[in-house]
Amino acid sequence: MKRMFLLLILFLVYGCSEKYTEEQIKYINEIEKLRESKDNEFKSSPTSPFNFKTKVEFSPLKYFDIKPEFVFRSKLTEYETKDTIIIYGTKGEERKAVRFGWISFHYKNKEYKVNVYEGRSKSGATFHSIWFTDKTTGEETYGVGRYIDFELNGNKDYIYTIDFNLAYNPYCAYSSEYSCAIPSKEDFIDLEIEAGEKSFH
């Protein structure tokens, strides 16, 4: 049994080393640690969607395999006119968000454009985020859509890293106590983004 286990480990390590560079293997290990840490936090934290308001049975979150090919680099292009738009939450309430700018990426010889939104938390803090749906939405991934956090940099020439392996489900994916922003039709990416978090249920 031990021999079979060792052979499996060697096979996995050898396979990874053949497929990925050392830098990519390091990156994969970092994402795996982040996922493990998130599981621990969601399971034990009193403010997690599994423990806050009502108790929801916890099980480890589900993910696609980590794929370095879904990590992109792009400048942020700000819209000349930053329109305030109305979006809806999953409980039907109206919310305001600013269409702040957009980033782009190339995948398999095709260019894709993704909006970056500016919003305000209940405490009044400003935040920026990417909300999107794609061809996996409602199938392998949560039917409302997924999010990627976006930290704005003051340098206009800054090159951002857009990592779809970090795409996550909003809290309403785990508990009906929550309402979350629904991405618009404009936020659909015509691509199967098989990276990041899968449907929980």
Tell me whether residue 194 is in a domain: no
Indicate the number of domains in the chain: 1
Q: What is the per-residue pLDDT across 157-188, written as a single tens digit (0 to 9) for each?
A: 999 999 999 999 999 999 989 999 999 999 99
| Per-residue pLDDT at 55 | 82
Q: pLDDT tens across 71-83, in order?
A: 999 999 999 999 9
Strands 71-75 and 84-88: unpaired
Q: What is the pLDDT of residue 134?
A: 98
Does residue 8 lie within any of the structural domains?
A: no
Query: What integer pLDDT is reported at residue 20 of this predicted model?
Result: 87
Q: How confident is the model at residue 56 (pLDDT cuts 50, 70, 90)?
A: confident
On the question of pLDDT at 2 being above 60, the answer is no
Range of the domain at 70: 56-189
Residue 109 zone, left/alpha/beta (φ > 0; ψ -120 to 50; rest): left
Whether 40 maps to a domain, the answer reads: no
Render 46-86 in DSSP notation, one character per residue.
TTSTTTSSS--------BPPP-GGGEEEEE-EE-SS--EEE
Confidence of residue 9 (pLDDT cuts 50, 70, 90): very low
Q: Answer yes or no: is 137 within a domain.
A: yes
Does the residue 32 lie in any domain? no
